[in-house]
Chain A
């Protein structure tokens, strides 16, 4: 199975900050990576697919990059509603695997 490792596990930031979250794959996955945002008690929301493509309706403050084994999610100009847990997912092979998540805290 491909292991996905996210760093950091938690991150403290302030409103207005720009932050970068990292996701590393244990083997190359091309660009077959998604990013999700999850708030407490809610379902995950898809943000990014194919490593860098924005899902419909997702604001451009979210951007993704990377390929192979290293990927990043950057969120610019943090707003209160952006504080949540973020997960990466690889869909290069089965089983699909998620990272353990990065909790973005105010």
Chain B
């Protein structure tokens, strides 16, 4: 069964950092573009970033450029999102996805002042 499980979310202070992980099982992420999408409480979906098969191409939405870094470890079937300088507006459920097709259940990041 194809499964994506996010982890690493939590309550963090404004300005701090966090690293989200996404563990894939039932398939190899080697051949897939991988995405992160977030959803603020009560709001719509926002695409955050994606990364190609070998990590040589990465794209970000403008509001996170310079603060977020997407990466992957194909050998361990893992996707990551490093989030630095957290802002109030980063509070959201973060989903990982295989090319916006299969999705995990999400991990909540809550930024507190």
Contact = CB atoms under 8 A, between A and B. Distances in A.
Interface of A: 1, 34, 36, 38, 42-46, 49, 55, 87, 89, 91, 94-101
A1 to B, nearest CB: 7
Q: Taking chain B's interface residues, is the majority helix, strand, or loop, or is none over half, making it mixed?
A: strand
30 contacts: A1-B62, A34-B100, A36-B45, A38-B45, A42-B105, A43-B95, A43-B103, A43-B104, A43-B105, A43-B106, A44-B95, A44-B103, A46-B101, A46-B102, A87-B45, A89-B45, A91-B100, A95-B47, A95-B59, A95-B60, A95-B61, A95-B62, A96-B47, A96-B50, A96-B100, A98-B44, A99-B44, A100-B44, A101-B44, A101-B45
B88 interface: no
